[in-house]
Amino acid sequence: MRIGVAEPDLSGDLRLLDRLRDLHDSLAAEVPWFARTIGEDALRPDILRDLGERLADLGADLIARADELCIGMLALLPDHGWLPEVGAQRREPGFAHQVGPRPLRCGRMFVGLCGAACYPLYGTDPAGKTARHQQCSICVGRLP
C-alpha cells in the first residue's frame, strides 16, 4: 500500500457499474414515455422526481469517486509541476511543461498549460530529471 494514494475500490466501482447498468435499462422505457407525454396532461411528477433523484444520486457518487481518484493521482505528482513531454527522445533533452496544481488528465498522460501531453512522474524527482529538460517558454509565460 502506498501512503497517500487511493487504493482501487473494486467493490465500490462494481456497485457504480451496476447502478449505471440499472439506470441504462430503466431509461429504455422512461425516455420514450417522457417523449410521448411532453405537452400532455399525462406527465407524472412522481416518475420525473424518481428519475431526477436517481440521476442526481448516481452523479454525486460518480463525482465523489472521481475526486478520490484525483486526490491519489495528485499525490503522486511532483510539487514543482514540471513534467516531461510525451515523445521526447531519450538521449536528447526534451521540454518540460508546467501542468499546474490540478492537471487535466488525458488517459495516462497529463496536459500542460501549453496543451502539450506530458508523462506523469510519480513522486518527487530526486535525480532532478525534469531539471535537465528545458522548460517550455509558453508554460513559463503562463505561470502566475
Least confident of 1-5, 22-26, 28-32, 98-102: 1-5
Helix, strand, coil percent values for the chain (each to nearest 5): 50, 10, 40
* pLDDT exceeds cutoff 90 at 63: yes
Distance, C-alpha 76 to centroid of its chain? 14
Q: Which residue has the higher pLDDT, 35 or 130?
A: 35
* pLDDT exceeds cutoff 60 at 114: yes
pTM exceeds 0.75: no
Query: What are the cell numbers at 89?
Result: 527522445
* pLDDT exceeds cutoff 50 at 72: yes
Label residue 120 by pLDDT band (50, 70, 90): confident
Query: What are the cell numbers at 47?
Result: 416518475
What gap in Å lies between CA 10 and CA 14, rounded to an integer?
A: 6
Q: Which of 5-14, 52-61, 100-109 has the highest mean pLDDT?
A: 52-61
Query: What are the cell numbers at 31?
Result: 425516455
